[in-house]
Structure 1
Amino acid sequence: MLDLNEIMFEGRFRLFLLGAFIFIGILAAIDILADIQEGTESAHIVIEGIVFAISIFGALVISLRLLNEAKQSRQLVKVMAQELQKNREEATEWRNETQALLQGLGASINNQFERWNLTPSEKEIALFLLKGLSHKEVAYFRGVSEATARQQARSIYKKANLSGRHDLAAFFLEELALPHNE
């Protein structure tokens, strides 16, 4: 795949060549007219005519190639815009589906916390632990000492009849494995 800078360089180079061929063609045409007025040999005029024809042909070839590439670029931009729109729609749909699932998961987690009779502080700590925060991080976010965060975590594990943070996470996440292909 070409780099954008390479593509831009190639485009500028082709425009330079187009300009050079047109410039050479104009100079050749002016020289041919001057040579005809001066009565220069026809062999010299034919050679300059060939130079003129080559320069015009070169300009035409480059122009056609530039037009073709511009057309292809417009088509590519159109396709990419359609794909981008499709991806945005899929992302919005995915976000909506996920949001509903996360709200359901959040409600289920809260219901389980209620069954364990966790206090509001313990619920908050349990959520932090489920998110993977350390006791030190929990203490920081709650504005308490690390020892207090550890003690509250132990209280959660005791009320839930779990052995620790890994069992707490496993309790909620064990069933979230990806489905197996049958």
Structure 2
Amino acid sequence: MDDTSDGLEARQLRRVVAAVLAVVAVIGAVDLYFDRPTSWLSAHVLVELTLMTVSASAALWLARGWGRAEATLAGTRRSLAERETERDAWRGRAESALHGLSRAIDEQFTAWSLTPAERDVALRLLKGDGHKQIAGATGRSERTVRQHAVSVYEKSGLGGRAELAAFFLEGLGGPGPRA
């Protein structure tokens, strides 16, 4: 079932419960009217009055509570829709930025004259993979992956993985203090 049919069924159930409680209160009042008790302090009358009061109070209390719950739920749904819109907009902006970053990285790899194997290793190093992970993912030996990494560092003039990452990521955090 979808959310709308569940919501409709829940609303119908709430209406039925409130209606039953209200009917109990009304029937109690009608019963008292037709009984025409001689004393309002008899056990029968007190039970009827208690039943009527509890039923009417419960019907009102439930109706008010359900009304507040529905209002809260509607507000939560609006807020969720707003967050989803914000998320989708951010994803669009981030995707555009990531494509630009990917192009810039590819252009830099071309400027460094990296081979396809070196490019693959360099990209995986930028993503945070270790030599062993790269070897397993690419079907190469760990020693070969290390050699490709060393070649990347030599061709780029960088001292290692941290400098490689810093080369591409510096400035992404915005302006700030520099060491």
TM, length-normalised to structure 1 = 0.75
Give 1:41-56 correspondences, 5 Å limit: 42-43=38-39, 46-56=42-52
Report Cα offsets for 1:86-145 as digits up to 9, x if no partner.
Answer: 111111001000000000000001111010000111111100000111111111111010
Question: Hey, what's the Cα distance between the residues in 1 that align with 2:60 and 2:175?
Answer: 54
**Equivalent residue, structure 2, for 1:75:** 71
- Say whether the 8 Å CA contact 1:122–1:153 is kept in structure 2: yes
- 2:127 corresponds, among 127, 131, 148, to 131
- 1:159 corresponds, among 142, 155, 159, to 155
Report Cα offsets for 1:52-110 as digits up to 9, x if no partner.
Answer: 11210111011100000111111111111111111111110010000000000000011
**Structure 1 spans left out of the alignment, 5+ residues:** 1-15, 34-40
* Counterpart residue type for residue 49 of structure 1: V
* Larger helix fraction of residues: 1
Structural RMSD (CA): 3.1
- Say whether the 8 Å CA contact 1:116–1:159 is kept in structure 2: yes
**Equivalent residue, structure 2, for 1:114:** 110
Question: Which protein is bigger by CA-based radius of gyration?
Answer: 1
- Say whether the 8 Å CA contact 2:29–2:52 is kept in structure 1: no
**Equivalent residue, structure 1, for 2:146:** 150
Question: Hey, what's the Cα distance between the residues in 2 that align with 1:162 and 1:44?
Answer: 97
Question: Hey, what's the Cα distance between the residues in 2 that align with 1:47 and 1:28?
Answer: 15
**Structure 2 spans left out of the alignment, 5+ residues:** 1-16
Q: Structure 1 residues 146 and 106, CA, compared in 2 at 3 Å: closer, same or farther?
A: same
**Equivalent residue, structure 1, for 2:98:** 102
Give 1:6-21 correspondences, 5 Å limit: none
Residue correspondences, number: 159
TM, length-normalised to structure 2 = 0.76
Report sequence identity in percent: 33
Q: Structure 1 residues 85 and 27, CA, compared in 2 at 3 Å: closer, same or farther?
A: closer
Question: Hey, what's the Cα distance between the residues in 2 that align with 1:44 and 1:90?
Answer: 64
